[in-house]
Amino acid sequence: MKKCLLLIGLLASLSVWAGDKEVLQQRLDKIEGFYASFSQNVKTEDNQPVQDGKGDLWVNRPYYFNWTMNEPDETSIISDGKNMWVYTPAVEQVSVMDLKKAVDNRLMLLITDSHNPIWDVYQVTRKQDSFTLKPTDGSNQDFIISVLPTGMISNFTIIEEDGQRSFYDLSRQKLGKVSLDKFKFTPPAGVTIDDQR
Protein backbone atom coordinates (compact mmCIF):
# COMPACT_ATOMS: atom_id res chain seq x y z
CA MET A 1 0.00 0.00 0.00
CA LYS A 2 2.86 2.35 0.87
CA LYS A 3 4.51 1.64 -2.50
CA CYS A 4 1.21 2.31 -4.28
CA LEU A 5 0.79 5.68 -2.53
CA LEU A 6 4.40 6.55 -3.33
CA LEU A 7 3.81 5.74 -7.00
CA ILE A 8 0.62 7.83 -7.09
CA GLY A 9 2.51 10.73 -5.49
CA LEU A 10 5.32 10.38 -8.01
CA LEU A 11 2.91 10.32 -10.98
CA ALA A 12 1.05 13.35 -9.62
CA SER A 13 4.28 15.31 -9.27
CA LEU A 14 5.33 14.31 -12.81
CA SER A 15 2.11 15.71 -14.28
CA VAL A 16 2.73 18.97 -12.41
CA TRP A 17 6.09 19.21 -14.14
CA ALA A 18 4.75 18.40 -17.61
CA GLY A 19 6.08 20.84 -20.21
CA ASP A 20 3.82 23.25 -22.09
CA LYS A 21 3.78 20.97 -25.15
CA GLU A 22 2.76 17.96 -23.03
CA VAL A 23 -0.02 19.96 -21.34
CA LEU A 24 -1.43 20.92 -24.75
CA GLN A 25 -1.18 17.34 -26.05
CA GLN A 26 -2.88 15.97 -22.92
CA ARG A 27 -5.73 18.47 -23.29
CA LEU A 28 -6.26 17.69 -26.98
CA ASP A 29 -6.26 13.95 -26.16
CA LYS A 30 -9.32 14.38 -23.92
CA ILE A 31 -11.76 14.74 -26.82
CA GLU A 32 -12.37 12.08 -29.48
CA GLY A 33 -14.23 14.41 -31.79
CA PHE A 34 -16.27 17.59 -32.01
CA TYR A 35 -18.32 19.93 -34.16
CA ALA A 36 -18.04 23.72 -34.04
CA SER A 37 -19.16 26.63 -36.15
CA PHE A 38 -16.51 29.30 -36.61
CA SER A 39 -16.10 32.92 -37.57
CA GLN A 40 -12.92 33.95 -39.37
CA ASN A 41 -11.21 37.32 -39.12
CA VAL A 42 -8.12 37.98 -41.25
CA LYS A 43 -5.92 41.05 -40.74
CA THR A 44 -2.58 42.25 -42.08
CA GLU A 45 0.42 42.75 -39.81
CA ASP A 46 -0.56 46.42 -39.34
CA ASN A 47 -4.15 45.44 -38.39
CA GLN A 48 -5.85 46.24 -41.73
CA PRO A 49 -8.90 44.01 -42.40
CA VAL A 50 -8.47 41.49 -45.23
CA GLN A 51 -11.47 39.16 -44.94
CA ASP A 52 -14.23 37.98 -42.63
CA GLY A 53 -15.77 34.58 -43.05
CA LYS A 54 -17.93 31.87 -41.52
CA GLY A 55 -17.93 28.12 -41.63
CA ASP A 56 -18.21 24.77 -39.89
CA LEU A 57 -15.61 22.35 -38.56
CA TRP A 58 -16.03 18.65 -37.78
CA VAL A 59 -13.15 16.63 -36.28
CA ASN A 60 -12.58 13.01 -35.28
CA ARG A 61 -9.21 12.02 -33.89
CA PRO A 62 -6.93 10.94 -35.40
CA TYR A 63 -6.79 12.54 -38.86
CA TYR A 64 -10.47 13.01 -39.75
CA PHE A 65 -11.65 16.55 -40.39
CA ASN A 66 -14.10 18.53 -42.48
CA TRP A 67 -13.35 22.25 -42.59
CA THR A 68 -16.04 23.98 -44.65
CA MET A 69 -15.91 27.71 -45.32
CA ASN A 70 -19.40 29.00 -46.20
CA GLU A 71 -18.67 32.74 -46.51
CA PRO A 72 -17.33 34.72 -48.34
CA ASP A 73 -16.63 31.83 -50.76
CA GLU A 74 -17.45 28.17 -50.33
CA THR A 75 -14.44 25.88 -49.89
CA SER A 76 -14.20 22.49 -48.21
CA ILE A 77 -11.07 20.74 -46.92
CA ILE A 78 -11.98 17.16 -46.03
CA SER A 79 -9.77 14.37 -44.71
CA ASP A 80 -10.95 10.76 -44.68
CA GLY A 81 -7.95 9.82 -42.53
CA LYS A 82 -5.73 9.06 -45.53
CA ASN A 83 -6.53 11.54 -48.32
CA MET A 84 -7.15 15.25 -48.11
CA TRP A 85 -9.64 16.79 -50.55
CA VAL A 86 -9.72 20.54 -51.23
CA TYR A 87 -12.94 21.42 -53.06
CA THR A 88 -13.88 24.85 -54.43
CA PRO A 89 -17.35 24.66 -56.06
CA ALA A 90 -17.01 28.07 -57.78
CA VAL A 91 -14.13 26.85 -59.97
CA GLU A 92 -15.52 23.28 -60.24
CA GLN A 93 -12.21 21.78 -59.15
CA VAL A 94 -11.05 19.44 -56.41
CA SER A 95 -7.44 18.69 -55.45
CA VAL A 96 -6.64 15.47 -53.64
CA MET A 97 -3.36 14.72 -51.84
CA ASP A 98 -1.85 12.31 -49.36
CA LEU A 99 -2.83 13.71 -45.93
CA LYS A 100 0.55 12.95 -44.30
CA LYS A 101 2.34 14.96 -47.01
CA ALA A 102 -0.06 17.92 -46.89
CA VAL A 103 2.27 20.57 -45.48
CA ASP A 104 -0.37 23.29 -45.91
CA ASN A 105 -2.53 21.76 -43.24
CA ARG A 106 -0.15 21.28 -40.35
CA LEU A 107 -2.55 22.82 -37.86
CA MET A 108 -5.16 20.12 -38.50
CA LEU A 109 -2.50 17.39 -38.24
CA LEU A 110 -1.47 18.80 -34.84
CA ILE A 111 -5.06 19.15 -33.60
CA THR A 112 -6.17 15.69 -34.75
CA ASP A 113 -3.17 13.68 -33.49
CA SER A 114 -1.12 14.52 -30.40
CA HIS A 115 1.40 11.81 -31.32
CA ASN A 116 2.19 12.84 -34.91
CA PRO A 117 5.99 13.26 -35.39
CA ILE A 118 5.25 16.79 -36.68
CA TRP A 119 4.97 17.86 -33.00
CA ASP A 120 8.75 17.35 -32.71
CA VAL A 121 9.44 20.46 -34.83
CA TYR A 122 7.34 22.80 -32.66
CA GLN A 123 8.29 24.77 -29.57
CA VAL A 124 5.22 25.34 -27.42
CA THR A 125 4.79 28.10 -24.83
CA ARG A 126 1.74 28.39 -22.62
CA LYS A 127 -0.01 31.37 -21.09
CA GLN A 128 -2.97 29.96 -19.10
CA ASP A 129 -5.22 28.29 -21.73
CA SER A 130 -3.41 29.84 -24.72
CA PHE A 131 -0.61 27.87 -26.42
CA THR A 132 1.79 29.39 -28.98
CA LEU A 133 3.38 26.92 -31.42
CA LYS A 134 6.52 28.03 -33.25
CA PRO A 135 8.15 25.73 -35.83
CA THR A 136 11.90 25.04 -35.67
CA ASP A 137 12.15 23.58 -39.19
CA GLY A 138 11.80 26.81 -41.19
CA SER A 139 8.05 26.44 -41.78
CA ASN A 140 6.42 29.84 -42.29
CA GLN A 141 3.36 29.58 -40.01
CA ASP A 142 3.02 30.04 -36.24
CA PHE A 143 -0.13 28.96 -34.43
CA ILE A 144 -1.85 30.12 -31.26
CA ILE A 145 -4.46 27.67 -29.92
CA SER A 146 -6.72 28.26 -26.92
CA VAL A 147 -7.67 24.92 -25.35
CA LEU A 148 -9.60 24.64 -22.11
CA PRO A 149 -8.60 22.02 -19.49
CA THR A 150 -11.59 19.96 -20.70
CA GLY A 151 -9.94 19.67 -24.13
CA MET A 152 -12.38 22.00 -25.88
CA ILE A 153 -10.75 24.35 -28.41
CA SER A 154 -12.20 27.85 -28.09
CA ASN A 155 -10.19 29.62 -30.81
CA PHE A 156 -7.00 29.53 -32.84
CA THR A 157 -4.87 31.91 -34.87
CA ILE A 158 -2.68 31.19 -37.90
CA ILE A 159 0.17 33.70 -38.29
CA GLU A 160 1.82 33.86 -41.72
CA GLU A 161 5.44 34.79 -42.43
CA ASP A 162 4.37 38.28 -43.59
CA GLY A 163 2.57 38.88 -40.28
CA GLN A 164 -0.95 38.31 -41.61
CA ARG A 165 -3.14 36.80 -38.88
CA SER A 166 -6.19 34.62 -39.42
CA PHE A 167 -8.24 34.34 -36.22
CA TYR A 168 -10.89 31.62 -35.90
CA ASP A 169 -13.41 31.87 -33.06
CA LEU A 170 -15.21 28.57 -32.41
CA SER A 171 -18.78 28.46 -31.06
CA ARG A 172 -21.74 26.07 -30.65
CA GLN A 173 -19.32 23.20 -29.92
CA LYS A 174 -20.73 19.70 -29.65
CA LEU A 175 -18.22 17.29 -28.17
CA GLY A 176 -18.12 13.60 -29.11
CA LYS A 177 -17.46 11.36 -32.10
CA VAL A 178 -18.79 12.65 -35.42
CA SER A 179 -20.44 10.33 -37.98
CA LEU A 180 -17.84 9.13 -40.51
CA ASP A 181 -20.16 10.26 -43.33
CA LYS A 182 -18.96 13.82 -42.65
CA PHE A 183 -15.44 12.82 -43.76
CA LYS A 184 -16.35 11.12 -47.04
CA PHE A 185 -15.95 13.09 -50.24
CA THR A 186 -17.27 12.08 -53.65
CA PRO A 187 -16.41 14.56 -56.42
CA PRO A 188 -19.60 15.87 -58.07
CA ALA A 189 -20.10 15.15 -61.78
CA GLY A 190 -18.26 17.55 -64.07
CA VAL A 191 -15.69 18.58 -61.46
CA THR A 192 -12.01 18.56 -62.52
CA ILE A 193 -9.88 16.34 -60.25
CA ASP A 194 -6.27 17.37 -59.62
CA ASP A 195 -4.78 14.19 -58.11
CA GLN A 196 -1.45 14.97 -56.40
CA ARG A 197 -1.05 11.65 -54.57
The pTM for the full model equals 0.85
What is the C-alpha to C-alpha distance for residues 78 and 86, in angstroms, rounded to an integer?
Answer: 7
Output phi, psi for 138, to 5 deg. 85, 0
Position 144 in a domain? yes
Share of the chain above pLDDT 70, in %: 90
Share of the chain above pLDDT 90, in %: 74
Higher pLDDT, 20 or 2: 20
Number of domains in the chain: 1
Is pLDDT above 60 for 13? no
Beta strands in the chain (DSSP E): 33-43, 49-60, 64-71, 75-80, 83-88, 93-98, 122-127, 130-135, 142-147, 153-159, 165-175, 192-195
The mean pLDDT value of the chain amounts to 89
The region, left, alpha or beta by phi > 0 then psi within -120 to 50, assigned to residue 89 is alpha
- CATH of residue 43's domain is 2.50.20.10
Position 102 in a domain? yes
Q: What is residue 7's predicted lDDT score, i.e. its pLDDT?
A: 44
pLDDT class of 14 with cuts at 50, 70, 90 = very low
